[in-house]
Amino acid sequence: MDKRKIRILLVVTLAILSLSPLSARSNNVAVGFQAGFAATGFVVDVGLGPLYLNAGLNYPLGYSYIAANTDPSEAFPKLATVTLDVSTAFPLSDSFDLKLGFGGIALTDFGPSFGGLAGPVIKGEYWIPNKNYGLFLNINVPILLFGVLVGDYDEENTAAVLFSPLLPLLGLLTTTVGVLYSF
């Protein structure tokens, strides 16, 4: 890509991000609950100007269900999923926002290893008119798989990143629905 195309792309990106869109949500902070195969738990969505930061601490209920059916002693594995995405809102009506951004989901036992998926995020938020709550659908489109294994004192650390054309199919497992309350 030549320098002229990069400059034009940079100017267009900065123009889009510098405009403060009129979001359907009137307050900058919202908390809520999301449910999905890989992430079921609490989320916080914070508006930072034109950007929105969404973070969640969740439990992988779908994975736990498969683990429980495979080995009953592993009914509730000691795992957690952490979700994080940064997006910008495009208001399509007074009560509906389409958010586009980049995000990821990581599976961890808060020990020496973790792994996850990252890629574009498409989010729809419908805020009930004259109410302080709304419904959302978070669609992840993973394009990379990552993992880290930290060794003990004398062992080496290992990290890997994988790109595959089949990774976007995992978005079926990482997509969530939920409710947000703004205050």
Q: DSSP state, 12?
A: H
Angle at 48 between CA 137 and CA 118, to 5 degrees: 50
Q: Is 167 strand, coil or helix?
A: helix
Helix segments in 35-168, DSSP class H: 61-70
What pLDDT, on a 0 to 100 scale, did the predictor assign at position 133?
92
Nearest C-alpha neighbor of 30 from the set 18, 20, 42, 22:
42
What pLDDT, on a 0 to 100 scale, did the predictor assign at position 2?
74
Tens of pLDDT, residue by residue over 3-48, are 787 777 777 776 655 554 555 566 789 999 999 999 999 999 998 8
Tens of pLDDT, residue by residue over 154-175, are 566 777 777 777 778 777 888 9
111 close to 42: Cβ distance less than 8 angstroms: no
Tens of pLDDT, residue by residue over 101-118, are 999 999 888 877 788 899
